Structure formats: structure tokens, C-alpha cells
């Protein structure tokens, strides 16, 4: 999938397909790359997340931009939308969870990180990842936080899957998740907030590397913009 996506992305960005052009059908692309249609669908979803294409049911996939995309979308929300909310919600939530979590919360979080460490299927890992962040929000003792994270759950899952496939984030995320759980278990709000801050920053850096590779090569950093 990564190879197909990279090939199609390069073709679009160098102008082989102009804005408004329709990409070949899934069947044609499958024959060209000698992969299954499910692999092609994943690659096309990646192009759409990057903002390079749009897919219309029954009509096909059309090019919407030829240049690098600053602010990809995941479901109804952009990457910028998600990061702004996550910075202002999940960081303090981790601190509250460290102070208010119960033994059952810690038990569930521990089991989730164990499952993610052992999981080899990306879809299953993403499902555990979503539940992990929702569990932390619920552990804060404030049900509103849980509702907020549940609202963006599907978008977070799309983003997480995208980063795992193109950014190789899974192994590092497992390490960061354990640090968060350890801090929550220790009852240290400061350490929990710091661990969550580090995790979200690494997620944003990975996404920036994917959507703005030229910035990554030159060492430029910065938050995603519109």
C-alpha cells in the first residue's frame, strides 16, 4: 500500500494527473501494480486524506490538488482541528486521570497496552488505541471529557491508521503509551501531562514528516496550518 500510495502521490505532484483528472479505476490500478483492490482502496484513501484527491461513489477518484497538502483531513475533521482539540483536552485530562483514576481504570489501561504490544493487525491495534485514549478521558472523573474524545474517535482512528501505515508509528506509540500509563499509575499529574504532551508532539511530527517531507529534510518544524 505504501509503495502504491507513494507512486500515485509522486505522479500527481509532478503533474502526470492534472487537477480535475480522473485516476484510473481500482481494477486498472490493481492490474498495473499487481496488487489486490483492497490495497488500491487503502492507497486511494491515503491520497484523499492528504487532500490530493476526492472520491465520488460510482464515478471514481478525481485529482483536487497537485501540491503538498498542509492540513490533511480524517473523516469530517482536519489534522489541525484534531491537534488543537487534543492539546487542549488530552493533556490536562491525563493529569486529572493521574489524580482520580480507580484500580479498574489502571487495570484496563494496562491490559490495553499489553494488547497493543502483542497486536500485529493494524485495524485491531487502531481499535485498541482509540479505546486507550477514551479510557484515559473517562478516568479523569469528568464524563464530558469522555464524550469529547468519543466524538472524534473515528477521525482519530483514521489518523492513527494513516500514521501507522506511512509513518511507522506503532512501535514508538506503544512505548509512549506505557509511559503515560506509568505516570497515571504513579498518581503524578505533572508526569502524566508531560508524557501525553510528548506523545502528541511525536504524533504531530510524524504527520508533518509525511505531508511536508521537504520541511522534514531541511529540519524545519512547526505546527500544521490550514
Residues 6+ apart with CB under 8 A from 124: none
Residues 6+ apart with CB under 8 A from 93: 136, 137, 140, 145, 149, 196
* Judgement on whether residues 104 and 212 belong to the same structural domain of the protein: yes
Say how many CA atoms lie within 13 Å of 100 toward its Cβ.
15
Q: Which helix (H) or strand (E) segment is 77 a member of?
A: strand 77-78
* Judgement on whether residues 78 and 55 belong to the same structural domain of the protein: no
Instruction: Kindly state the average pLDDT of the residues 111-132.
Output: 94
- Checking if the pLDDT of 36 tops 60, the result is yes
* Judgement on whether residues 84 and 186 belong to the same structural domain of the protein: yes
Give me the count of residues in the chain. Answer: 226
* Judgement on whether residues 202 and 156 belong to the same structural domain of the protein: yes
For residue 168, CA distances in Å to 172, 187, 191 come to: 8, 31, 26
Q: Of the ranges 28-37, 191-200, 217-226, which one carries the lowest mean pLDDT score?
A: 217-226
* Judgement on whether residues 78 and 180 belong to the same structural domain of the protein: yes
* Judgement on whether residues 163 and 191 belong to the same structural domain of the protein: yes
* pTM of this structure: 0.79
Percent of the chain with pLDDT over 70: 93
Q: Average pLDDT, whole number, for the chain?
A: 89
* Judgement on whether residues 93 and 198 belong to the same structural domain of the protein: yes
Residue 224 placed within a domain? no
Going by C-alpha positions, the residue among 45, 51, 56, 53 that lies closest to residue 79 is: 51
Grid cell for residue 138: 473517562
Instruction: Kindly state the average pLDDT of the residues 114-134.
Output: 94
For residue 9, give its domain range.
2-63
Compute the radius of gyration of the chain from its Cα atoms. Answer: 19
Residue 127 placed within a domain? yes
* Judgement on whether residues 49 and 84 belong to the same structural domain of the protein: no
**3-state class (DSSP) for residue 56:** strand
CATH of the domain at 51: 1.10.10.10
User: Residue 85 — very low, low, confident or very high, per pLDDT cuts 50/70/90?
Assistant: very high
Number of domains in the chain: 2
Residue 68 placed within a domain? no
Instruction: Kindly state the average pLDDT of the residues 139-147.
Output: 96
Residue 90 placed within a domain? yes
pLDDT per residue over 2-25, tens digit each?
Answer: 789 889 998 998 899 999 999 999
* Judgement on whether residues 134 and 209 belong to the same structural domain of the protein: yes
- Checking if the pLDDT of 217 tops 50, the result is no
Residue 137 placed within a domain? yes
Amino acid at each position: 500500500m505504501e509503495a502504491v500510495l507513494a507512486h500515485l502521490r509522486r505522479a500527481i505532484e509532478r503533474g502526470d494527473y492534472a487537477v480535475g483528472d480522473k485516476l484510473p479505476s481500482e481494477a486498472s490500478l490493481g492490474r498495473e501494480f499487481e496488487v489486490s483492490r483492497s490495497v488500491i482502496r487503502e492507497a486511494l484513501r491515503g491520497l484523499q486524506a492528504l487532500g490530493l484527491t476526492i472520491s465520488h461513489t460510482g464515478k471514481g477518484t478525481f485529482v483536487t490538488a497537485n501540491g503538498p497538502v498542509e492540513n490533511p483531513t480524517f473523516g469530517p475533521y482536519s489534522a489541525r482541528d484534531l491537534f488543537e482539540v487534543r492539546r487542549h483536552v488530552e493533556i490536562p485530562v491525563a493529569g486529572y486521570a493521574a489524580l482520580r483514576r480507580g484500580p479498574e481504570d489502571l487495570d484496563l489501561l494496562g491490559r490495553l497496552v499489553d494488547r497493543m504490544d502483542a497486536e500485529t493487525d493494524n485495524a485491531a491495534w487502531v481499535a485498541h488505541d482509540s479505546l486507550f485514549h477514551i479510557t484515559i478521558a473517562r478516568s479523569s472523573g469528568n464524563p464530558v471529557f469522555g464524550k469529547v474524545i468519543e466524538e472524534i474517535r473515528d477521525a482519530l482512528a483514521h489518523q492513527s491508521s494513516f500514521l501507522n501505515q506511512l509513518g511507522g508509528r506503532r512501535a514508538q506509540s506503544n512505548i509512549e503509551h506505557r509511559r503515560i500509563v506509568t505516570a497515571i499509575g504513579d498518581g503524578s499529574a505533572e508526569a502524566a501531562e508531560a508524557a501525553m504532551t510528548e506523545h502528541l508532539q511525536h504524533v504531530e511530527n510524524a504527520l508533518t514528516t509525511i505531508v511536508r517531507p521537504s520541511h522534514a529534510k531541511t529540519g524545519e518544524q512547526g505546527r500544521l496550518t490550514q
